[in-house]
């Protein structure tokens, strides 16, 4: 942008060899010459938030002018001809909340000897302590971990593999 005397460079993807393997330096994940990283002042990364189509994890990998910021969770929402990007907070806090909520769900099921339930039931039970968004992410997490299955929308069963 000429108004702010800055340039933007967008890289289209990360290296395949390191992606997802938790490299010690995330800058090593960038595809292309290391000179790209050396020349720029700021490197930002957006990664898909596993289990969600509407949220991304935003990370600052390099900033020559300021201290590092914590990773943030961004929510994307298309509204007619525009894209609204909302910051939901620190990504680490969200991940911890999702795991905690998933444990609460599994404890509730075990204590009540339930092998199936409707999402509405869990949302009512946890409404005082968890947001609906956190409950939805926790349910997705439990499905990804193979602890729950969802044979139809809004209905869940404890996976036979989990017993």
60-81 confidence digits (pLDDT tens): 888 888 888 888 888 888 888 8
pLDDT above 80: residue 49: no
Contact 110, 146 (CB under 8 A): no
Q: Can you give the pLDDT at residue 20? A: 46
Residue 144's nearest CA partner among 93, 102, 114 is 102
The pTM for the full model equals: 0.52
Number of H helices, E strands in the chain: 4, 7
């Amino acid at each position: 942008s000429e108004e702010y005397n800055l340039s933007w460079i967008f890289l289209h993807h990360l290296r395949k060899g390191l992606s997802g393997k938790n490299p010690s330096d995330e800058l090593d994940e960038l595809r292309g010459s290391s000179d790209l990283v050396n020349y720029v002042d700021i490197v930002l990364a957006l990664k898909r938030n596993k289990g969600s189509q509407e949220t991304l994890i935003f990370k600052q990998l390099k900033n020559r002018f300021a201290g590092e910021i914590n990773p943030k969770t961004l929510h994307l929402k298309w509204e007619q001809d525009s894209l609204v990007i909302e910051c939901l907070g620190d990504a680490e806090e969200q991940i911890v909340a999702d795991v905690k909520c998933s444990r609460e769900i599994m404890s509730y099921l075990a204590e009540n000897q339930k092998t199936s339930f409707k999402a509405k039931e869990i949302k009512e039970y946890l409404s005082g302590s968890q947001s609906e968004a956190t409950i939805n992410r926790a349910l997705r997490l439990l499905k990804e971990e193979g602890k729950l299955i969802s044979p139809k929308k809004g209905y869940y069963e404890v996976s036979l593999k989990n017993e």
